[in-house]
Structure 1
Amino acid sequence: MTPQAEAPDVTDTGRFVEVEKIVVEGLPDQRLSIWLPPGYDSGTRRYPVLYMHDGHNLFDPAKSNFNKVWAADKAMRAAMATGKVEPHIIVGMWPPGPDRYRQYLPQFTAERATGGIAASIRDNSNGGPVVSARYLAWITDELKPQIDCDYRTLTGPEHTAIAGSSMGGIMSCYAIVERPDVFGRAACVSSHWPIALPEEAEADRAQVFGIWQDWLGEKLGRPAGRRIWMDHGTATLDSYYAPYQQVIDRSFREAGWTEGKDFRSEVYEGKEHEENAWAARLPEIFGWLLSER
């Protein structure tokens, strides 16, 4: 992995590395924005790693879709300042434009969906196959080993987290459930549990509920040290999510997860489905999810 653009000096706000093109078999070309925390270049310590979807919307408004970002580096510095969170390397994985949906939609949902839900998935995939299983395999079996080789990382699941919003939220849930050997912590922010267009999902809500309940019943298991943050607002697209989140929460409890200890599920009244809302609560998310306890 060769960085194409790299800041030449280190400041107290950390340093960015851009990897502009990674050719991956079975996926659209990938791109990374990596943040190295303050002190990385002047020391020898090893760092936990946070992998985040929608890397274009994490740091720089000029690279974002809507000129607003999560400000993930600032949120990390705020969490670090509490003394409860270690500095983390953040690996931002850009979505491949129009292929974002089919890369982030958990594979099992496409395989189990029928009727109008299946039709909505096909429409949103722009005629291409759902490739999230390959995307997850790339992250866990190719990207992570390369990051561990190129940077001073702590490599175990207790030191490896994954996070995202909307479709990236359900992809993060998919990742930690399917690969607990790699990921010990996940943030599923404003997760798009309906999987299809909301109006279409509402017409067959029971099917969507069943897809998630069956998969979590089969795969989630006990927490075994894992920690998961989930949340949603109540405005715009997030206004659809409460009934789905309640089903998800119940599945976690049935699997033996303790709310507040192993998982949190928060509601932000009046907050919309957008980056400024996520940026506002990201220090809180990091403070709980990534704390050393």
Structure 2
Amino acid sequence: MVKNWIYKLSCLGLAALFMLALTGCNEKQEPTAVQPSPTLKENAAPDETKGTVSIEKLGERRIFVYLPPGYETSEDRYPVVYMNDGRNVFNTGTSSFNKEWLVDKKVDELVSDGNLEKVIVIAVDAGEGSDRGNEYVPFPNDSIPSDGKGAEEFTRFFLETVIPFADSTYRTIPDRDHRMIMGSSFGGVQAFWMGYHHPETFSMIGAMSVSTWVANGQAYEEWRQETGKPDVKIWLDMGAEEEMAIDPLVDILLSKGFKYGQDIFFLMDPAGTHDEISWSKRVHNPLIMFAGKTPGQAVKLEVSDYMSISWMGESFPRLNPVATMDNGMEYSVSSQASYKVLNPEAGQVDPSGMVTFLKKEDLSVEVTYQGITQLYEIENDR
């Protein structure tokens, strides 16, 4: 259902989004001990279907480490998923507002189902209080606050300390083809920025609910001015309820030569909000992109619509067909699907899924992708 509003990137909106991003993922909390998952009874045999989680320290910073099922009894080496905001990744006892990504459980499930090869996950904790924004946002901004230099220092810490620690301590596959960086919100900004500028270290980026509003649109200006095309695959997503501009970033990347469905994927989650619960429901997608099979044939198509927001704040209704692929990934195919309007006197749909109403009437559209067709009614409540 298309909402009747026009998005405005006002100072009040920035403040509200800032508080959501900063407080929703960054409430200061004393460290809580986390038991390895699963906890083994004395003398009990390890559960070969589940990985384990432990906490290490690098200086004063906690590093949360997931080792895959069978790690202790094998000599295999494994790809590594690096993640920001480590306290929120595995356990509610350490997370903000008792919400977590459930990544250990998601990886166990994907491995068990045959949709993912075994991986190590290294989740690096964020700095406390305002340090988080300064470490994660590479653009100067007084309200976050960030000086633009803290993100460079955090990146050096990641490249020069975290990765060497992981490669020397665990049986990783220590090359860029077997490393991914992932984050959400401010952590998504940092993951995108670090992975994009260091393709010699990372081959894939997962940027979920990336806070595109930071620095009053400077993020888009910076990304637009980037030259060349790094050799990385990129996952982007957003929740429709978040009402943040993301389509322009997808368009920027496509203009630089990324190929949709090959080295860039995007999902608009129709019910997605800005929290760990929403991210836990779609984190399987970038994980499969990194260490699963290549998507081939769509097996399911679900259609919704949302307000596509430009980086300048204008908004337009857009169809959102989401394909479930044979490898388990789910992503939007707005520009890859075809559209047949059954009542063209009422409106039009362009090849990218953008909707134009011509009269006060709902629009009936047949949406087709890879041989699957769904009929969808776009409600016109202007």
TM-score band (shorter)? 0.7 to 0.9
Aligned residue in 1 for 2:229:
222
CA–CA distance in 2 between the matches of 1:157 and 1:230?
20
Aligned residue in 1 for 2:142:
122
Aligned residue in 1 for 2:189:
170
Q: CA deviation at 1:292?
A: 4.8
Conserved 8 A contact 1:103-1:132: yes
Q: Secondary structure at the match of 1:97?
A: coil
Aligned residue in 2 for 1:115:
none
1:128-187 deviations in Å (ceiling 9; x for gaps): 774111111111122111110111010111100110100011111111111111000110
Aligned residue in 2 for 1:15:
52
CA–CA distance in 1 between the matches of 2:80 and 2:237?
22
Name the structure with the higher helix share: 1
Matched, 1:103 2:110: no
RMSD: 2.1
2:255 partner letter = E
Aligned residue in 2 for 1:210:
221
CA–CA distance in 2 between the matches of 1:282 and 1:64?
17
CA–CA distance in 2 between the matches of 1:102 and 1:223?
25
Aligned residue in 2 for 1:263:
264
- Percent identity, aligned pairs only? 25
CA–CA distance in 1 between the matches of 2:155 and 2:259?
27
Q: CA deviation at 1:85?
A: 2.1
Give matches, 1:266-281, under 5 Å.
266-281=267-282
Aligned residue in 1 for 2:346:
none
> Which range moves more in the overlay, 246-255 or 40-49?
246-255
> Which range moves more in the overlay, 170-179 or 40-49?
170-179
CA distance change for structure 1 residues 268 and 276 in 2, over 3 Å: closer, same or farther?
A: same
Conserved 8 A contact 1:79-1:286: no
Q: Secondary structure at the match of 1:188?
A: strand
Larger RCO (CA under 8 A, 6+ residues apart): 1
Matched, 1:232 2:251: no
Query: Number of aligned pairs?
Result: 253
Q: 199, 204, 207: which one pairs with 1:185?
A: 204
Q: Secondary structure at the match of 2:96?
A: coil
Name the structure with the higher strand share: 2
Matched, 1:137 2:156: yes
Q: Secondary structure at the match of 2:93?
A: helix
Aligned residue in 2 for 1:117:
none
Q: CA deviation at 1:6?
A: 7.5
1:270 partner letter = A
Q: 102, 106, 118: which one pairs with 1:87?
A: 118
Conserved 8 A contact 2:233-2:264: yes
CA–CA distance in 2 between the matches of 1:58 and 1:69?
5
1:252 partner letter = L
Conserved 8 A contact 2:137-2:148: no
Conserved 8 A contact 1:185-1:290: no
Conserved 8 A contact 2:188-2:208: yes
CA–CA distance in 2 between the matches of 1:246 and 1:129?
24
Aligned residue in 2 for 1:118:
none
CA–CA distance in 2 between the matches of 1:292 and 1:159?
14
1:13-72 deviations in Å (ceiling 9; x for gaps): 2112212x423xxxxx32111011110000000011111011110111111111110001
CA–CA distance in 2 between the matches of 1:16 and 1:161?
19
2:224 partner letter = Q
Give matches, 1:142-157, under 5 Å.
142-157=161-176
CA–CA distance in 2 between the matches of 1:83 and 1:212?
36
Please identify the structure whose Cα radius of gyration is greater: 2
CA–CA distance in 2 between the matches of 1:122 and 1:91?
31
CA–CA distance in 1 between the matches of 2:148 and 2:230?
32
Q: Secondary structure at the match of 1:259?
A: coil
Q: CA deviation at 1:5?
A: 8.0
CA–CA distance in 2 between the matches of 1:71 and 1:255?
34
CA–CA distance in 2 between the matches of 1:153 and 1:232?
31
Task: List runs of 5+ in structure 1 lacking aligned partners.
Answer: 24-28, 111-120
Q: Secondary structure at the match of 1:222?
A: coil
Q: Secondary structure at the match of 1:272?
A: coil
Matched, 1:55 2:86: yes
Q: Secondary structure at the match of 2:265?
A: strand
1:13 partner letter = K
Aligned residue in 1 for 2:312:
none
